[in-house]
Structure 1
Amino acid sequence: MWLAPAPPPGNTLGCNGQNQEGGGTSMTLREARHIGGESPKEPRGGMPRPRGLGVLEGRLWRHLVPLGLLMLAGLLISCSRVTRPDKPAVSPPPATPVTSPTLGGTPINRPPAPADPTAYAPSVVVLWNEAMLAAIRHGPPRPTVIARSLFMVHTAIYDAWSLYDDVARPLVANAAWRRPVPEHTEANQAAAVSQAAYHMLVALFPDYEARTAAFTRLMYNLGYPIQYHMDNTPAGLGYAVARAVLADRADDGSNAAYDYADTTSAYWPELYRPVNSPDPFAENGLFGVAFDPNRWEPLRVPTGKLKDALGYPTLDPADPTSYTEQVFLTPHWGAVRPFALASGDQFRPPGPPKAGSDAPYMDALGRRMTNDQAYHLQVDEILHLSANLTDEQKVIAEYWADGPRSETPPGHWNALAHGISARDHHTIGEDARLYFALNGALFDASIAAWDAKRAYDCIRPVSAIRRKYAGQMVTAWAGPNQGSQPIPGERWRPYQDLTFVTPPFAEYVSGHSAFSAAAATVLTLFTGSNRFYDGKTILYHEDFNQDGVPDMLGQHIVAIGGNRFESSPAQVIVLQWETFQEAADEAGISRRYGGIHFQDGDLRGRDMGQYVGTQAFDLATKLWRGLSPP
């Protein structure tokens, strides 16, 4: 594969080499990640890049040397070749154990790599999705904002593709822009999609692009000139689609022009103000007489400047530089214009249980009791889980915390969808449709979940446990590598990074649960099956756990001592999800293991996500079938 030299950062003039229908070259996910600023590891047994060569020159060197050897071998073989009929493709050999050195030599039963592991070429949709995830990893972990950005980019990708499809209707772009049927080729689709994705990403991630030129380099390596005007070419229409989507979302209620700061609307006529104080000793602070045990408490989170006797981050109330005070992330999000939802509160669940109330309450499992009983039951469940955390539960809590590489749940599920695309050998059109529906559902899940978070403003487990058990000793996880032991109740902490503690927004409902259920629902409906792990699909271009072994679809392996929050597990842990639903359910309960959510916040978030995912998929399906949206 020939790759054009990358332009210097800031050069947006594009390159030559475009074919008659749109041009472009294939790339791997590893190459796309490297362009995005993430260095890929050399494949095991691969030829090292010689010192002094640039990325692309080194890549070219690696391709030319094997090519020369193959040519020489071809000359030798041709001298004795016997003409014979073509044979059918040979089936891959059976699975054999592959040992990973970073897993303590534990045999992992995986099929051996094929002779050419680069044979799978992800579509340009997947390449641009991965380029966006690379940008997301370099920014703040704001799940609502990330969900919106993913939806916008994949709306533009879908709309650009639809203009070169016989049936599909665009969501935002002018349907009159559709090109004649003879132009409906994959080459034109790829060119239009890439142009649309490029202009969206440069607009949404300008600082990242200024630092890395990642999106410009990807366009260059795909062989597409960058265009800045509309015409009837794939490039011109891709540009026009991007401008249309950006204009459509400019005033969607997100307040993007002011970095998504809280804002008022008819839906939320007042700015959000927390009822409780971040100062635990204030009158309305955690230990004050006016503290409301039903409402969210903004925390003081250690910055890492001060360390305790064990060397872990702590804070000093008298030293403001030792902590930051949380601010509710995007409390206005329920008012953002959705994709398929009728409104942010369409699937708002009944409220969580309230401490001090004798009113009847039925929890998400159907159990009947008073509000106060349900409240204390769910608080104590989290304390019990903390005291009895297993290594597997810790791995689950960490894996789902914000994705394997910090993409937050919306990005995490986009990354998981790469494997579905590879397994099912998706075309550009299939990926355009999949990611459009997936991110429409994730975006709507962000709106629905944040509507409930603002409406109920529910307390987090860390505050509820500290308040309830202040002045008492409780048995719980005592901190990194300290296991479970008696600690003062007011010092209880969730199983999380000590400089994170818990997310900066209210508990009910769980965003992880809503996002994951919505994603699993779309993946099930799109593929026609709930099957995730199949025991045979190897993702030769994926290595999330960085163990040097390609990942298997629907599986994640953590080495001994591979957790980030502490030096666990003591044995290799393999997470495996037979179905999308199983993965989504594990993502939901992971937040209870991690001390972030209560039972009903998790379970009712899952219900919400299923409703949202079904509705989003229904609308997306109507569009790509050419039907008018309701």
Structure 2
Amino acid sequence: MLFWNDTALQAIRAARPGPPMCARSLAIMNTAMYNAWSAYDPQAMSTQHGAATRRPSAEHNRRNRFAAISHAAHAVLLDQFPSQKTLFDAQLLALGLDTTPVDASPGSARSVGAVAAAACIRDGHGDGANQLSLLTASGRAYADYTGYQPRNPGAIALQATARERIPFPGNWQPLTYLDSGGAATTPEFLAACLPRVKPFALTSAAQFRPGPPAAFGSAEFNDQARQLLTIQASMGETEKAIADYWADGPSSELPPGHWILLARFVSERDVHDDDIDVKMYFALANALADAAIAAWDAKICYDSARPISAIRYLMNAETVISYSPLGPAAGLGPVSGAAWLPYQPLTFITPPFAEHVSGHSCFSAAAAEVLKLYTGSDRFGAVATIRARSLKIDPKLPSMEIALRWPTFSDAAAEAGQSRLYGGIHFEKGNTAGLSLGRQVGAAAFAKAERYWSGS
């Protein structure tokens, strides 16, 4: 289980999908692995076939489970990331397993894994995510087919934005900036079709939809913008380290993958075997996928402004303390409010989708809820060591090593959510609403996953 999740994260870092696509891929793979494993368990039910694929008890052994799980993971990864076939084949061979087409023997562990994967892949192709671009003519995987259009015109991130370029200050605005390759890019709203994707445990994408963000023109809208200015001006090295650690931007494992990594700590702490891990990752990955659907439902529903647009509109004629176009590494100083920048890399200044709710907060709370329920305790105990002068956003920081400690899963989720305020990309209400939404999603996903493995 750990091996294939590590392989999936390696593929995600190379492929650079968005967080929702990352969560979906992890859920499909871990569901296929769980279904393959369930064939060798006396009570667990497959999500696709119930008890129909259960093998005779004489075949219920570690060797068969291992082979079935591995072949299922390999097949799903080939479907999700076809350009990385060389990596996946090498991983399968490293386990002593064959990469040639599956044999015709229906009772082999290899066939069990192939059947489990094929069913999950088939469902994924029709789940509404548009993975194969069958719903659009663009040929781009996951392309939007809902007709979403931003209400605001685009803005150039490293130039001051005139108020007339933000005609709808409460709504999302596309940004143009130079990516890590030096090319100008203006990303469209990522995964606008996600609320139409079939969830795992939710009755609908809107089942737990939170209330709206602060309305433009209200005191709350103005206050939340001022709060971020205060936070940015007072951040110390620890706050900056937290923002950097939880950033999970392009070329990383992204927020959903981050929690897959944290679950490895739990597995090692509690000395799990594959029989324990397969259930934990099945529940966790599906909670993360449902968290994406629920969070994006709110993002599309409210289409809310990111701090960079709201602050530039509200403080347009003011001088504020922020970062210049040289970025956070150059330090804070007086700048026009129309040019305010968050504590983010200049190559990824703000994620390309609406603010409310925070996806990171929702992912984190959902994951924390699952891990708490699965282990029977909120106790975590993980520590992340931030080496001196290792931050991606400001490489000269921290001046000395910093340890981030999370006594509980809830502490880790809360810090992940707070990191988005430190980073200047979410408001407090978007964070707290995201955390609340994630807890509800996590509880629902765990309850459904538990019913599967208990056979009830």
Give the alignment's TM-score, normalised by structure 2: 0.93
> Is residue 94 of structure 2 the alignment partner of residue 221 of structure 1?
yes
- In the alignment, which of 385, 388, 391 is matched to residue 557 of structure 1? 385
**Relative to total residues, which structure has the larger helix share, 1 or 2?**
2
1:405, distance to aligned residue in structure 2 (A): 6.8
Contact 2:328 2:344 in 1 (8 A): no
Cα deviation, residue 570, structure 1 = 1.7
More divergent stretch after superposition (474-483 vs 580-589): 474-483
Please give the per-residue CA displacement for 1:13-63, whole angstroms capped at 9, x wherever unaligned.
Answer: xxxxxxxxxxxxxxxxxxxxxxxxxxxxxxxxxxxxxxxxxxxxxxxxxxx
CA offsets per residue over residues 512-536 of structure 1, 9 Å max, x none? 0000000000000001111111xxx
Paired residue type of 1:248: D
What's the counterpart of residue 215 of structure 2?
A: 354
For the 8 Å contact 2:16–2:251, the answer to whether it is kept is no
CA 168–518 in structure 1, closer or farther in 2 if over 3 Å, else same? same
**Match of 1:215, as an amino acid?**
F
Matches within 5 A, 1:33-432: 125-173=1-49, 175-209=51-85, 213-226=86-99, 227-230=101-104, 231-258=106-133, 259-264=141-146, 271-279=147-155, 287-288=163-164, 291-303=167-179, 323-356=184-217, 372-402=218-248, 406-432=252-278
Assess if the C-alpha contact under 8 Å between 1:510 and 1:605 holds in 2. Answer: yes
Deviations 1:316-360 (A, max 9, x none): xxxxxx62212000111011000000000001111011122xxxx
Q: Distance in 2 between matches of 1:339 and 1:223?
A: 33
Report the TM-score, using the length of structure 1 for normalisation.
0.68
Deviation (angstroms), 1:221: 1.5
Bigger drift between 168-177 and 239-248 goes to 168-177
Within the candidate set 368, 373, 381, 1:525 is matched to 373
Aligned-pair CA distance for 1:410: 0.6
Deviation of the 1:480 alpha carbon: 2.9
SS in 2 for 1:347: coil
Structure 2 Cα separation of the partners of residues 514 and 170 of structure 1: 27
* 1:595-610 pair list within 5 angstroms: 595-610=424-439
**Structure-2 change in CA distance of 1:198 and 1:289 (3 Å):** closer
Query: Following TM superposition, by how much is the alpha carbon of 1:219 offset from its aligned partner in structure 2, in angstroms?
Result: 1.3
| Contact kept? 1:386, 1:593, Cα under 8 Å | yes
**Aligned-pair distance for 1:387?**
1.1
Aligned-partner Cα distance in 1 for 2:166–2:369:
43
Q: Specify which structure has the bigger relative contact order, considering alpha-carbon pairs within 8 angstroms and separated by 6 or more residues.
A: 2
Distance apart, 1:303 and its partner CA: 3.7
Contact 1:173 1:245 (C-alpha < 8 Å) held by counterparts:
no
Read off the aligned partner of 2:144 and give its amino acid letter: D
CA distance in 1, matches of 2:63, 2:368: 31
Match of 1:506 among 347, 354, 372: 354
Distance between the aligned counterparts of 2:362 and 2:227, measured in 1?
Answer: 21
Which SS does the other structure have where 1:562 is aligned?
coil
Change (3 A) 1:476 1:149: same
Aligned equivalents of 1:196, 1:562: Cα separation in 2: 38
**What is the deviation of 1:304?**
6.3
Q: CA deviation at 1:175?
A: 2.5
| TM-superposed deviation, 1:476 | 2.5
Task: Provide, for residues 143-186 of structure 1, a one-character-per-residue CA deviation record: whole Å limited to 9, x for no partner.
Answer: 01011100000000000000000000011135312101111111
Picking from 491, 494, 505, the partner of 2:339 is 491
Two-structure CA RMSD over aligned residues (Å): 1.7
* Distance change >3 Å, CA 228–CA 293, structure 1 → 2: same
> How do 1:529-548 and structure 2 match up within 5 A?
529-533=377-381
The percentage of counterpart residues that share the same residue type is 43
Distance, in Å, in 2 between the alignment partners of 1:399 and 1:305 is 22
Question: Following TM superposition, by how much is the alpha carbon of 1:486 offset from its aligned partner in structure 2, in angstroms?
Answer: 1.4
Q: What SS does the aligned partner of 2:385 have?
A: strand
The DSSP-based 3-state class of the residue aligned with 1:326 is coil
Counterpart position of 1:118: none
Are the equivalent residues in 2 in contact too, given 1:462–1:596 (CA < 8 A)?
yes
Q: Gapped runs of 5+ residues in structure 2? A: 134-140
Are 2:418 and 1:570 aligned? no
**TM-fit CA distance, 1:203:** 1.4
Give the drift of 1:426.
1.1
- Code of the residue aligned with 1:375 in structure 2: it is F
SS of equivalent to 1:620: helix
| Corresponding position of 1:446 | 292
Identify if the C-alpha distance between structure 1 residues 289 and 221 changes in structure 2 by more than 3 Å, giving closer, same or farther.
closer
Q: Which structure: larger Rg?
A: 1
Question: How far has the Cα of 1:425 moved from its partner?
Answer: 1.3
Find the residue that maps to 2:110 and give its secondary structure.
Answer: helix
